[in-house]
Amino acid sequence: MNEVYGQESGNVVVVTEQNFQHVMVEESQRRLVVMDFWAEWCAPCKALMPILEKLAAEYQGQFLLAKVNADEQPNIVAQFGVRSLPTVALIVNGQPVDAFMGAEPESAIRERLAKYLPKPWDSLLDQAGALQAEGKLDEALPLLREAYTLSEGETAIAFALADVYVTLNRAEDAEAILDKMTMTEQTEPEYAALKSRLTLLHQAAESPEIQDLQRKRDADPDNLELAYELAVQYSQINRHADALDTLLGILRKDKTFKDGEARKTFLDIVNSLGKGDPTAVKYQRQLFTLLY
């Protein structure tokens, strides 16, 4: 790697007394600093350095690799109390937050870095938050859904996603998120609040018109006109899964019902949910299986 002594070169810097303050204070407030104490005579140092350089290049500026030649910078070594080489210290906001001695394997170093580096979904959450502040929940939803997937269901993101689903009157989708939560997560106050909102949402969704249509459909299950009218009512209050389920039942009996209107309504609902929406994906597959 092409380096200029004492100056930053890409994601790596050689630390001297002249730039030590800048690296320790200013740079560590901007991003994680990984300070590597090494020496020419140290064999483990030479095994570790390529790993750190590789990671610095791979993470593309998410952290700064700061190299300290222990033989040339005894004052810095003394300030850190380094007693053996290699020693690596992780610096955040001017303070060491983690450290290790010896040449750890790459996998262990990655685990350490992961604790202090921005998560892949952080930017998605920032964008979603900005859109929510503007009232653009439909645009925030796919970003939150992607963050939820990337984070493998991190609790705070799960609650944020469920909250948007409830606000958009998408009770089934909110319930799907809450149903996956652990017993510990279910003790959180956000869980109880969302469950209460879902109860109110269900009560509001059972309008007299829908209840009447449900009774008529139950009494006359082969009446596709009634079923279609009920599906439309479901879609208008964002009960998308109920609407798609009802339309799928119609299409199983008559693939061309109302000159293709049932199929068109089905696809309109799926398209309105957006690309990658779990409900949309689920019912797209079922329609494809039915038709082909």
In three-state form (DSSP H/G/I as H, E/B as E, the rest C), the secondary structure along 113-147 is HHCCCCCCCHHHHHHHHHHHHCCCHHHHHHHHHHH
Q: Around Cβ 174, how many Cβ atoms within 10 Å?
A: 23
Q: Say what angle helices 106-114 and 43-58 make with each other, to 10 degrees.
A: 50
Which residue is it, tokens 């939560």? 181
Q: Amino acid identity, residue 185?
A: E
Cα separation of 283 and 291, whole Å?
12
Active site residue 270: no
Over its C-alpha atoms, the chain yields an Rg (Å, rounded) of 29
Element (DSSP H or E) covering residue 190: helix 189-205
Q: Which one from 35, 42, 171, 244 is the annotated catalytic residue?
A: 42
Of 12, 32, 33, 45, the active-site residue reads 45
Is the separation of the CB atoms in 122 and 76 below 8 Å? no
- Whether residue 42 lies in the annotated active site: yes
List active site positions. Answer: 42, 45
